[in-house]
């Protein structure tokens, strides 16, 4: 039987010391880290970008099939993705957690192992946070801080008619991973049968261990590309593209045949009798970058195998449409994930 250390045996300050004992910083902008009333950060003339996320057990994650180490990693990465979506580079994170008495010190150690793994992978410093008891469930709040050269950040509102619509990577895998894990978790709860993940490492990994697209931001800098608008795909391509259109006051045309789909994910969607296109359009948590560029950047975009051109922006009066493989045109509908509905 594994040892279990009750959190109350340490107390709040001793717990924080325990969880952050080996915390190291690597960014010159981190002047003062954990251990005082506040962290001190100096970005040496660069502009500061800040984003925050709140993750709640039962709403954003299910510990029935989410390992705590993966959860710690993902909690950091989804915030870093928001910083990259501003064309910025993340440098620090602040992490606060609330937990009930069913969690032990060892369980929190597992969670923090994932946090530190993400910080190391993305060269980000953990510089502060808070801990508290929670009446039920696990609560996670992460704030990410980044830096960007003056006036090179990218907003959602800068797209123009005729700009190319682009995405990084592949879409729909995380939704299929969620569908699989929820199915197996339900079977386990009802019968006790062990999960059968059918060799679907790709889609499970897309859900449990997403990666932020640092490589794309680095490519933009190397190639001299500044997107006209950008955001990361967290709620689903259709929902997020409609956000860009609304904030940029444009319409759009999307082409089904251009959507980047992973072949393993496509085959599994067919096995579940799901439409792969619907998974790509409406599935959330891909954390790929959705952005627009001027047509003058076409040659630079098409040379990067990690990027796909999937459509173009139009004048607002032309509507927001998707063209199917058969050539039919339909209104694009937001059917992505909404955390405010059941």
Phi, psi angle pair for 114, to nearest 5°: -70, -40
Task: Classify strands 320-323 and 251-255 as parallel, antiparallel or unpaired.
Answer: parallel
**What is residue 34's predicted lDDT score, i.e. its pLDDT?**
78
Residue 305 pLDDT exceeds 80: yes
Over range 69-89, report the average pLDDT: 97
Q: What is the pLDDT of residues 238-253, one digit of tens each?
A: 999 999 999 999 999 9
**What is residue 1's predicted lDDT score, i.e. its pLDDT?**
52
State the pLDDT confidence band at 336, using cuts at 50, 70 and 90.
low
64-88 burial, b at 16+ Cβ within 10 Å, e below that, comes to: ebbebbbbbbbbbbbbbbbbbbbbb
The highest-confidence range among 40-49, 105-114, 264-273, by mean pLDDT, is 105-114
Closest of 199, 216, 206 to residue 262, by C-alpha: 206
Over range 44-53, report the average pLDDT: 92
CATH of the domain spanning 7-148 = 3.30.1330.10
**What is residue 115's predicted lDDT score, i.e. its pLDDT?**
97
Residue 342 pLDDT exceeds 50: no
CATH of the domain spanning 164-331 = 3.90.650.10
State the pLDDT confidence band at 340, using cuts at 50, 70 and 90.
very low
Rounded Cα–Cα distance for residues 43 and 145 (Å): 10
Domain ranges across the chain = 7-148, 164-331
**306: exposed, middle or buried (C-beta count within 10 Å: 0-12, 13-18, 19+)?**
middle
Residue 235 pLDDT exceeds 80: yes
Which whole-number Å values give the CA distances from 160 to 82, 156, 165, 310, 331, in the listed order?
22, 11, 11, 16, 20
Instruction: Indicate the helix (H) or strand (E) that contains 121.
Output: helix 105-121
DSSP states of 53-91 as a string? EEEEBTTTB-TTT--HHHHHHHHHHHHHHHHHTTT-EEE
Percentage of residues in the chain having pLDDT higher than 70: 96
State the pLDDT confidence band at 171, using cuts at 50, 70 and 90.
very high
Helix 214-223 × helix 68-84 angle, to 10°: 20
**What is residue 294's predicted lDDT score, i.e. its pLDDT?**
98
Whose tokens are 């501003």? That residue is: 86
Helix 105-121 × helix 12-20 angle, to 10°: 40
**What is residue 234's predicted lDDT score, i.e. its pLDDT?**
93
Which whole-number Å values give the CA distances from 234 to 238, 240, 243, 322, in the listed order?
11, 8, 12, 20
Residue 135 pLDDT exceeds 60: yes
Percentage of residues in the chain having pLDDT higher than 90: 75
Residue 296 pLDDT exceeds 50: yes
Over range 25-40, report the average pLDDT: 81
Over range 268-279, report the average pLDDT: 93
Do residues 342 and 246 lie in contact, with contact meaning Cβ atoms separated by under 8 Å? no
């Amino acid at each position: 039987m594994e040892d279990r250390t009750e959190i109350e045996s340490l107390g709040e300050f001793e717990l924080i010391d325990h969880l952050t004992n080996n915390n190291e910083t690597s960014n010159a902008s981190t002047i003062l880290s954990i251990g005082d009333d506040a962290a001190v950060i100096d970005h040496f003339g660069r502009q500061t970008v800040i984003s925050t996320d709140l993750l709640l057990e039962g709403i954003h994650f299910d510990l029935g099939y989410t390992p705590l180490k993966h959860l710690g990693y993902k909690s950091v990465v989804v915030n870093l993705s928001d910083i990259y979506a501003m064309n910025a580079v993340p440098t620090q994170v602040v992490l606060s957690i609330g937990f009930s008495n069913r969690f032990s010190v060892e369980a929190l150690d597992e969670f923090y192992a994932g946090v530190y793994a993400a910080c190391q992978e993305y060269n980000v410093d953990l510089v502060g946070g808070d801990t508290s008891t929670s009446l039920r469930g696990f609560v996670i709040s992460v704030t990410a801080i980044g830096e960007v050269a003056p006036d090179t950040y990218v907003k959602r509102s800068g797209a123009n008619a005729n700009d190319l619509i682009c995405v990084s990577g592949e879409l729909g895998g995380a939704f299929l991973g969620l569908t699989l894990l929820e199915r197996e978790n339900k079977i386990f709860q009802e019968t006790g049968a062990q999960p059968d993940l059918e060799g679907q490492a790709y889609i499970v990994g897309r859900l449990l261990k997403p990666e932020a697209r640092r490589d794309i931001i680095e490519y933009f800098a190397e190639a001299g590309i500044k997107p006209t608008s950008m955001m990361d795909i967290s709620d689903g391509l259709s929902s997020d593209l409609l956000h860009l259109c609304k904030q940029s006051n444009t319409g759009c045309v999307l082409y089904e045949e251009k959507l980047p789909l992973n072949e393993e994910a496509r085959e599994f969607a067919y096995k579940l009798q799901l439409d792969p296109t619907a998974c790509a359009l409406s599935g959330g948590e891909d954390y790929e970058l959705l952005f627009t560029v001027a047509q003058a950047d076409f040659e630079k975009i098409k040379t990067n195998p990690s990027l796909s051109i999937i459509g173009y922006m139009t004048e607002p009066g032309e509507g927001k449409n998707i063209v199917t493989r058969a050539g039919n045109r339909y209104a694009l509908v937001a059917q992505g994930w909404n955390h405010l509905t059941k």
